[in-house]
Chain A
């Protein structure tokens, strides 16, 4: 079964750090570009970052640029998001999502169940 499982969410104080992980299974992880997408409570979806299959291309939303770092370990079938200098408006559910057929042209076809990040003092 193709699956993505996020972990690492939790409660953190403003200015703090958190590292999210996404474990992939059931497909050849190293062949796919991946994304992080978040959703604030009661709000819509917001793309956070993407990384190509071999980490050659990395992109960030302006809202997280300079604070978040996306990475992956293809040997461990894992995607990561290092989040530093966290702010209250970073609160939400964070999803990892796969680019279908390994390209952003085909949409994000597999999503994890999400991990919740709460930034509050």
Chain B
């Protein structure tokens, strides 16, 4: 079965750029999405089709996808961005989520 691998945790000082990676076999040949989930809340779609932002998502969130790796980049990271982040892609009509990355802003 298809797997997506994320680092369990990433730390970033406030105001700096955070990068969260998601690795999977030929992931660049598929569309990748990214979700943010804060404690006790439902997930929120941040990025779809590798790099597109739904309305209402701040411009500091951006995405890319090439080769075997998709990357979520958060520019000018704010304290409110501290959350769990999940990548997701489809494989043979099955949705696959990465294991999630806890972003700490410190």
Contacts and interface: CB of A to CB of B under 8 A. Distances in A.
| Cβ-closest 9 pairs across A and B | A107-B48, A47-B95, A107-B33, A44-B100, A111-B42, A45-B97, A59-B93, A107-B45, A109-B45
Given A44-B86, A100-B54, A106-B48, A95 B95 contact: no
A46 B48 contact: no
Interface residues of A, number: 24
Contacts of B42: 95, 111-114
Contacts of A114: 42
Contacts, number: 66
Interface residues on B, range: 20 to 34
A107 B88 contact: yes
Interface of A: 35, 37, 44-47, 50, 57, 59, 61-62, 95, 97, 100, 104-109, 111-114
Residue with the greatest number of chain A CB neighbours at <10 A, chosen from B33, B49, B96: B33
Given A59-B94, A112-B42, A45 B48 contact: no
B44 A111 contact: yes
Contacts of A97: 43
Contact of B98 (A44, A50, A100, A106): A44
Given A44-B86, A45-B35, A45-B100, A104 B45 contact: no
A107 B43 CA distance: 12
A104 B90 contact: yes
Given A62-B1, A100-B54, A35 B95 contact: yes
Contacts of A35: 95
Given A45-B35, A46-B97, A107-B54, 8 more contacts: A44-B97, A45-B97, A97-B43, A100-B45, A106-B49, A107-B47, A107-B49, A107-B88
Contacts of A111: 42-44
A62 B31 CA distance: 22
Contacts of B44: 111
